[in-house]
Amino acid sequence: MKEIKFRVWDKVRQKMFKPQAISFDTQTLAPFAVSVPGCSWEPAEKFDLLQWTGLSDAKGSNVYEGDIINISSVIYQVIWNKSIAGFELVEAGSSLKRNIIDVGIGEIVGNPYQNVPSIITPGL
């Protein structure tokens, strides 16, 4: 079975956390509440949930949804594409796409919330 991991961006505290637990609504399967270190359950709307792609960059760092990747001096963002039900890389400033597996030859240079290169629009 594939391991599923998340990290969460706390919109209020402006901080990234590894969640201790995430509760999902049993009917809609939408996130309902999140528990992070030092806090009890809080409404999921307070967070942006970012799923792990199951892949690592060239340095061995886990790559999550939203991460910004440098591959051969070209900047890409990891996005979830609903129509293909999978992650892909979208080149910053264009609509050119690249296969998600290519993150293995690139390096994470930021995310939409921290260390954002100037050509990336936060909250994509």
> How sure is the predictor about 124, in pLDDT bands with cuts at 50, 70 and 90?
very low
What span, in angstroms and rounded, lies between the C-alpha atoms of 115 and 30? 29
Closest CA to 55 of 102, 8, 109: 102
Q: Tell me the CATH number at 55.
A: 2.30.30.290
Number of domains in the chain: 1
What is the tens place of the pLDDT at every residue in 3-57?
Answer: 889 999 999 999 999 999 999 999 999 999 999 998 889 999 999 999 999 999 9
Whether the predicted pLDDT of 58 surpasses 90: yes
For the beta carbon of residue 101, count every other beta carbon within 10 angstroms.
12
> How sure is the predictor about 1, in pLDDT bands with cuts at 50, 70 and 90?
low
What span, in angstroms and rounded, lies between the C-alpha atoms of 116 and 119? 8
Q: What is the pTM of this model?
A: 0.86
For residue 122, tell me if it sits in a domain: no
Structure token pair of residue 41: 């359950």
For residue 120, tell me if it sits in a domain: no
Query: What is the pLDDT, as a whole number, of residue 116?
Result: 65
What is the tens place of the pLDDT at every residue in 73-110?
Answer: 999 999 999 999 999 999 988 889 999 999 999 999 99
For residue 11, tell me if it sits in a domain: yes
For residue 116, tell me if it sits in a domain: no
Contact, 114 vs 66, CB < 8 A? Answer: no
For residue 10, tell me if it sits in a domain: yes
For residue 124, tell me if it sits in a domain: no
For residue 82, tell me if it sits in a domain: yes
Range of the domain at 30: 6-110
For residue 50, tell me if it sits in a domain: yes
